Chain A
Amino acid sequence: MLATVASINSANRLKARLTEKYSVPSRVIQTPSSLTKEGCGYSIRFDNSQKSTVEKCAAELHINIRAFFREETNNTDTVYIKE
C-alpha cells in the first residue's frame, strides 16, 4: 500500500517513526505520476495490514496523508486503488 505525503521530508519522518516506534517496515518511493496532480511527490510503501498504524503514526507527527492507495497487479500492470 502507498501513503502519499506532501514532501520527501514528511516521508522520511514517517518512515523513521514507523521503524523506531512501531517496528513497521516501510520504504520511501517517488509517487507514481498517475497518483499526483502536483508532480514530483513522495510516498511510503508498506504492507496493507499496517494502514491503521501508519495513520496513527502520521497523526502523531502532524503529517497530512493525502491519500492511501492499495496496489494490485493486473496482468503485468500495477493498478492503484484509492482507499
Chain B
Amino acid sequence: MIYLDNAATTFPKPDTVINTVTDFMLNCGASPGRGGYDSAIRASEILYECQESIAKLFSIPTPERIVFTKNATEAINAAIFGLINPGDEIIISSMEHNSVMRASHEATKRGASLKIAHGTPEGKILPESIERLISSKTKLICLIHSSNVSGTINDIYTVSRIAKRHKVYTLFDLSQSAGIIPIDASAFDLAAFSGHKGLFGTMGTGALYIRKGIDVKPLLYGGTGSYSESARMPQEYPDLFHAGTVNAPGIAALNEGVRFILREGVYEKEKEITRYLYDLLSEIPAVTIPGERERTSAVSVTVKNKDVVELAEELNREGICVRAGLHCAPLAHRTLGTIHSGTLRFSPGYFTEKAHIESAVSAFKKIIEK
C-alpha cells in the first residue's frame, strides 16, 4: 500500500506514538484529574506535558491556554460559538474548510453576520482583501493557514497584524500546516490544531489555543474534577474547556507526536517530498494542478476528460490511497474553479519516500493514458 492521504490523517505514525498509546492503555489507564492516586496524577501530568510540547513547537507563551478538543473542527466551533454574540460580524475566506464555513453559517442563524474574503485563482487570500471587509461590527477573522485542497499557504502573520490594528480577533485554522511548516503562534489570538494530521497524534485529538485576555465561553459544560461544589464551570484554563473525560491516551500520543517533530525536525523532508510529487505530476500534460508550487502537502489535480472519483478508485486497485472529491471545502473548489469536477488529492507525509511517489505517479500515468 502507498498511503498518500496524509492531509486527511497522517499514516503511519512514529513508533514512539504507537508505543505511548499502548503504554498508556497497559500501564496507566486512569482519567486525568479524577483522583489522587498515582496513575490519575500521572495521566494529568501527560496533559500538562502535551501542553508544554505544543507551546514549545509553536512558541506559545501560555501553555495552560492550550485546551484539548476531539479535533480541529471542535476547536473551531468552540472558538466561534464561544466568542461570537448576536450582532457580531465574522470574516472568513473563500478557501475555508466546512469546519469554518458551516460553523460560521450557523452563527448567522444565531444573529451574527458573515462576510467572505475571496481568494485568487491560486487559492491565495490576500491580507488586503480581508482588511477591506473589516467594519465596526467585525469581531473575528477566521482564516485557514494552508488549504486542504491546494496546499496554498496564507500570510497569517500579516493578517494578524492587520486584525490587531483594527482591534479584531483572529482564529487561524492550522489543521494543514501544524507540523508541516514552522509556525510562530506567539502573537496569535486563537489557533485551532488537528492532533492527528501533521502532529502525528491519533484521531480524536485536536487543540485550541486562546490567548490570555480573550474571554471565550466553553462549548461543553460538565464535570472537570475541580470546583465540584459549584454549579458554574471553573474559570481556570484548561479546566474551563475540559468538561467530561478527555481523550488521555490520544493526548499522550499527541504529546509524543509533537516531541517527534521537535526532535526530528520534519519540515525540510516534508517540503522536499511535496515538491518532488508536484514536479512529477506537473510534467503530465493532461494534468492541471491548482495552486502554487510552494505549498503544504496537499497536491490536488484535475485530469482532462477524466472523473476524479473513478481515477481514485483505479489507483485504489493499485494499492494507492488518495482522496477524490470536494474534500469538505466547496468554497475552496469554487475559488480554484474545480467545484464541478472536484479534484484528486495526493498528499504525502514525512514517511513517504521518493520511491513511493515514483510508483504512484507511474501508476497514475498508466491509468490516465488508457
Where the two chains meet, the residues of A that have a C-beta atom closer than 8 Å to any C-beta of B are 6-10, 12-13, 16, 28-30, 37-42
Establish whether residues A9 and B36, one from each chain, have CB atoms under 8 Å apart when the complex forms.
no
B: residues with CB less than 8 A from A are 32-33, 35-36, 41, 44-45, 47-48, 51-52, 63-64, 224-230, 234, 236-239
Q: Is the CB of A8 within 8 A of B229?
A: no
Distance, CA A1 to CA B207, complexed state (A):
35
A41 to B239, CA, bound (A): 12
Most B CB contacts (10 A, CB to CB) among A8, A10, A37 go to: A8
Give the interface SS of chain B, mostly helix, strand, loop or mixed.
loop
Given the known A-B contacts A38-B229, A39-B229, are A16 and B48 also in contact in the complex, defined by CB atoms under 8 Å? yes
| Contact for A7 among B35, B52, B63, B236, CB less than 8 A | B236
Interchain CB contact under 8 A, B228 and A10:
no
- Give the CA-CA distance A36 to B260 in the complex, in Å: 40
Expressed in whole angstroms, the Cα–Cα distance for A40 and B63 within the complex equals 23
A40 B48 Cβ-Cβ under 8 A = no
> 3 tightest CB-CB pairs across the interface, nearest first?
A30-B36, A39-B228, A12-B48
13 A-B pairs whose Cβ atoms sit less than 8 Å apart in the complex:
A6-B227, A8-B41, A8-B226, A9-B51, A9-B237, A9-B238, A13-B64, A28-B41, A28-B45, A30-B36, A37-B229, A38-B228, A40-B226
Closest-by-CB residue of B relative to A63 is: B64
Label chain A's interface by main secondary structure: mixed
Partner pick for B47 among A6, A9, A16, A41, CB 8 A cutoff: A9
A8 x B33 contact (CB < 8 A): yes
Evaluate contact between A40 and B228: CB separation under 8 angstroms: yes
Neighbouring A residues of B63 by C-beta, 8 Å: 13
**Interface contact B48-A9, CB-CB below 8 Å:** yes
Contact across chains for A38 and B230 when beta carbons are under 8 A apart = yes
Contact of B236 among A9, A28, A30, A40 (CB under 8 A): A9
Within 8 Å CB of B64, what residues of A?
A: 9-10, 13
B228: A residues at CB distance < 8 A: 38-40
Chain B: minimal CB distance from A76 (Å): 20
Smallest CB separation, A80 vs chain B (Å): 15
> When the two chains form their complex, are residues A42 and B45 in contact, meaning their CB atoms are under 8 A apart?
no
**What CA separation (Å) do A6 and B225 show in the bound complex?**
11
Q: Is the CB of A13 within 8 A of B48?
A: yes
Cβ of A12 and Cβ of B45 under 8 Å apart?
A: yes
B48's nearest neighbour on chain A, judged by CB, is A12
Q: How far is the CA of A12 from the CA of B33 in the complex (A)?
A: 10
